[in-house]
Structure 1
């Protein structure tokens, strides 16, 4: 067997687990595939002959790739990680990990979307894939104590949110109330439907906190022209702005504790037109 074939065979033995980690980190099958492919590229360019635990090494690589991708969502500025990748000492059985990760439903992914990149990585690696905090710390570039604190904070938020899942009808009510309050300049009405730690993401950057988001929403609504239609945007409750019958902008919402926790706004018409939008 040629060296490149042997290398590919070793990588493929871990692909299932790497995809499970990446899906839970990113919440997107497509982005997960990209992250795993990047891990393959890094492995093919590295000397891994000295690595005893290749599964652990690859998990760390994928974790760092995902962390970069999550940080890129929060800021348009590039935030590369250190190139050196520490090799973890041990990892659980891949098949058991994949089964565990696949048992986690979409409700958890909704909650994970509200965490910071470091919190999300600490929770996913430690709680879903049993990676020790000493190794998690090496991925995020913090001390084990800081990694443990990030994981604990994420765990509290996940547990609290899972107990109050928001149903489809209520999601629609919240989105309608948000739009009505924004159009009317009803600041208190907006605060009533927004999570205190709400995050708004656009191509231009990120806004956090209910006060800042409510202020921005009233200004945004004043400049809306065209037809606004309720819609499912990439499977999420939201609405679309149409001009001449074409989707020009979209807003997709994530809910936690019966409040709006994340709003993803696509303002670029070309990107919005390519989105999976179902008008309601």
Structure 2
């Protein structure tokens, strides 16, 4: 019996060893499978990019009139609508009143008008969708704090109301004080920031800071992609006032559209 037991020991040891190897191999496979699954899960669970600070260009806005802050993925821009430059529309007696005898004044002046306005724009414009036509009313907020309108006035072409525009391409009516033409109070044949439009895309003057000259690659909206003075060397899509004189005004439309960032 003892002899038989001795003969069985190698058989039992071999069986145990085989079982142990099989167990280890299966355990290793399970661990490897777990690692692969974890890496796959990590790749699929990447969070969307969150905007945590305002674009540097917002620092150029008139802080006496404009309050700007982030709200989730949007930027909220609240403005009194009151510009920080001279115009006949301030009315006599105001320190910013400017005599402009050739302007056919509309009935309202700044002090008798509610110019306050609030817009919300995407912190990161969506440039993948279709273009959207501008409508009557505010199409953006200028760095001065006042509104930007398109090339229409009261349902008709702007040139019908051009006589009421002040020296910086703006007037009151209907509604808030607003610019239609190149606002010479803060951009005059240069690359200065003009404002932000409703699609979250910035609008600049007629020249491009990347080249120091008029851009030659603008799309139908006056937009292109290049660096600006606020992008720290990174290229970004933005609009320019198109360097084409509008009608008989002797000046340039601020923005006619369409929007590219909706």
TM-score, scaled relative to structure 2? 0.22
Tell me which of the two structures has the higher relative contact order, counting C-alpha pairs closer than 8 angstroms and 6 or more residues apart.
2
Q: Which has the higher helix share?
A: 1
TM-score, scaled relative to structure 1? 0.21
